[in-house]
Amino acid sequence: MSTATCKRVYLPRLRHFAHFHDRHAMKRGHPKRTFKVPAGWPMPPLPIDFAKSLVFPMYGNDRLGDCMYAAAAHGDNTFTGNNSAESKFDEATLERYYERLSGGDNGLDEGTLIDGWKDGIAGVRAACIVDALDIETTDPATMRAAIYLFGGVLFMLDVPDAWCNTGDGETWDVPAHADRNNGHGTWINGVDAAGNYHLLTWGGYRELTPAGLQACDPSGFVVFSLRWFNAQGYAPNGLHYNQLAAMWTAAGGKPLPASPFPAPTPTPVPSPGIWSEVAAFLKWLLSLLNPLNHSAPVKQVFARRGISPTGIWSWIILILADYAKLEPIITADLAAGKTYLQILEDCLAALIPHSAAA
């Protein structure tokens, strides 16, 4: 459904117009499920930079109200540019597909964009998403996790009038007053060391402060796309599809299909005699999916990694999902005669670096 363009505003520093929409209309059709970081997930360290030196074109947003569609294209640019060659969309084709979704040049609401994005962008069917989750944009921990794990957030705001007179690379901060008629869609794909967000807009970027974000009637959603993974099934953050698919579901997303990527590189095969011991350890690990089996020593192992009792279940799932990576650690520890608690601690250490756990 369209949002109907509200007004054009001239941007003196950029020497072109912005096309804004009614923010209330833009929120229609937003995802009903919400991205929530399970207790115990480690906080990604800052800075997070998936913008790098990539190119994020205007995609006609100086002439049309296609900011939401352009933001989706910037998401795909981010996904592909961080693991292979950055995607490129023909601008005329992109505008034509936008106008088809919008019913003219009328802007897009969240639901229409998400439905269209599931079929690709600008006729490129591979540039699609599998699922989308609403996100609480005012919570820095949630935003950092979404950006680091899944490549970015499609972010919507009411652009304060004062921010219309800024140049590329400048800061959006308070004092600022949201204007409902200045609704705008953007893509955020980074967080600097101070916690400011790298926000793509109008063919460039702005640094959005947490205080500025709070002031601009923010909302957003995070998506899961196969374009975030390289040919071997690994995302730029080093996590495999199997890991991120499990984390997506744990954070509120729908169950995702089995990995379409090649199986991770096989690890050296341990001696035959170790298999019964591995099986016994995995059986014990599976027993921890039941909170009644969380003894005090088990809780202490997780607590040393900053994981609360309510987060244990999610981390057990991740250990099982990442067994191919952890198998050499498990087999070596068993051969060395380590206890199950010591092996569990070594598995968590491999998944949570000390810098992230601190």
Q: Is residue 247 part of a domain?
A: no
User: In this predicted structure, what is the pLDDT of residue 4?
Assistant: 57
Answer with the one of 204, 221, 239 that is the final residue of a domain.
239
HSE at residue 348, side-chain half, CA atoms within 13 A, is 29
Give the C-alpha separation, 310 to 315, whole Å. 10
Q: Is residue 252 part of a domain?
A: no
Angle, helices 241-250/140-150, rounded to nearest 10 degrees: 150
166 and 51 in a single domain? The answer is: yes
User: In this predicted structure, what is the pLDDT of residue 290?
Assistant: 87
CB 76 within 8 A of CB 121: yes
Specify which residues 236 forms β-bridges with: none
77 and 174 in a single domain? The answer is: yes
The residue count of the chain comes to 358
What is the CATH classification number for the domain harbouring 95? 3.90.70.10
154 and 299 in a single domain? The answer is: no
Q: Is it the case that residue 244 has pLDDT exceeding 50?
A: yes
User: In this predicted structure, what is the pLDDT of residue 354?
Assistant: 45
Q: Between 169 and 352, name the one with better pLDDT.
A: 169
Number of domains in the chain: 2
Q: Which residues contact 334 (CB under 8 A, 6 or more apart)?
A: 274, 277, 278, 281, 343
Neighbours of 114 (CB within 10 A): 21
Q: Is residue 249 part of a domain?
A: no
Q: Is 20 helix (H, G, I), strand (E, B) or coil?
A: strand
212 and 276 in a single domain? The answer is: no
Q: Is it the case that residue 2 has pLDDT exceeding 90?
A: no
Answer with the one of 221, 239, 257 that is the final residue of a domain.
239
User: In this predicted structure, what is the pLDDT of residue 201?
Assistant: 98
User: In this predicted structure, what is the pLDDT of residue 5?
Assistant: 60
Q: Between 163 and 334, name the one with better pLDDT.
A: 163
CA dihedral 6, 12, 13, 18 (to 10 degrees): 10
pLDDT of 276-328, one tens digit each?
Answer: 888 889 989 989 988 888 999 999 999 988 899 988 988 998 898 888 889 89
20 and 167 in a single domain? The answer is: yes
Q: Between 62 and 266, name the one with better pLDDT.
A: 62
User: In this predicted structure, what is the pLDDT of residue 357?
Assistant: 44
Answer with the one of 203, 220, 239 that is the final residue of a domain.
239
User: In this predicted structure, what is the pLDDT of residue 321?
Assistant: 84
75 and 160 in a single domain? The answer is: yes
Give the residue-averaged pLDDT of 234-243.
Answer: 92
Q: Which domain, by its residues, includes 347?
A: 266-357
188 and 321 in a single domain? The answer is: no
Backbone φ and ψ of 183, nearest 5°: -65, 135
Q: Is it the case that residue 358 has pLDDT exceeding 50?
A: no
Give the residue-averaged pLDDT of 121-140.
Answer: 98
Q: Is residue 256 part of a domain?
A: no
User: In this predicted structure, what is the pLDDT of residue 117?
Assistant: 98
User: In this predicted structure, what is the pLDDT of residue 263?
Assistant: 82
304 and 231 in a single domain? The answer is: no
Give the residue-averaged pLDDT of 214-219.
Answer: 97
Q: Is residue 253 part of a domain?
A: no
pLDDT of 27-66, one tens digit each?
Answer: 999 999 999 998 878 788 899 999 999 999 999 999 999 9
Give the C-alpha separation, 111 to 229, whole Å. 25
234 and 279 in a single domain? The answer is: no
Q: Is residue 259 part of a domain?
A: no
208 and 276 in a single domain? The answer is: no
Q: Which residues contact 1 (CB under 8 A, 6 or more apart)?
A: 28, 29, 109, 111, 112
Cα 357 → chain centroid: 20
